[in-house]
Amino acid sequence: MPVQRAATVRHRTSLFHDAVAIVEHDFAAEVSLDDIARRVASSRRQLQRAYAEIGRTTFREHLTAVRMERAADLLDHSAMTVRQVANRVGYRQPAQFAKAFRRHHGASPSDYRATRRLPEHPAAPALRRVPTAA
């Protein structure tokens, strides 16, 4: 791989960080690489290069990772249904969400929640009466 000019690296780093900020904020909306490129005033190809060279990923992989981390957080800390979580993180089809979640986390959303969620009020241990000397 040829050595790139410092200005090119700085520009791609800036593009990548700007795109990451937009994805972090708008992950639940229908965002596309073309949409992000327009918003950061760049071409689709330049943004693809920034993701590949600076982020070592692709736009789609990054968007999916952000959505899956947010979904895991919602499953851990809310009483929302899987369907509600899917909609909240940008999936219109719960089955598509479940497939992506399983691929990312290695378990279905329901199984993930069942194994990760701690009881909110663990039962207090039973106290044993100790006889006292009379």
- Per-residue pLDDT of 79-127, as tens digits, reads 999 999 999 999 999 999 999 999 999 999 999 999 986 555 444 444 4
Domain ranges of the chain: 1-57, 63-116
The rounded distance, in Å, linking the Cα atoms of 108 and 94 is 11
Residue 120: the pLDDT is 53
- SS3 of 68-80: the string is HHHHHHHHHHCCC
Whole-structure pTM value: 0.82
Mean pLDDT, all residues of the chain: 90
Q: Which residues contact 33 (CB under 8 A, 6 or more apart)?
A: 44, 47, 48, 59, 60
Contact present, 19 and 40 (Cβ < 8 Å): yes
pLDDT above 90 covers a percentage of the chain that reads: 82
Residue 2: the pLDDT is 63
Question: Which CATH code for domain 63-116?
Answer: 1.10.10.60
Residue 116: the pLDDT is 81
The rounded distance, in Å, linking the Cα atoms of 74 and 87 is 12
Report residue 3's pLDDT band, with 50, 70 and 90 as the boundaries. confident
Determine the average pLDDT of the residues in 26-54: 97
Q: Is the pLDDT of residue 130 over 70?
A: no
Query: Which among 114, 33, 100 has a CA at the least distance from the CA of 67?
Result: 100
Residue 55: the pLDDT is 97
Contact present, 113 and 76 (Cβ < 8 Å): yes
Report residue 1's pLDDT band, with 50, 70 and 90 as the boundaries. low
Residue 123: the pLDDT is 46
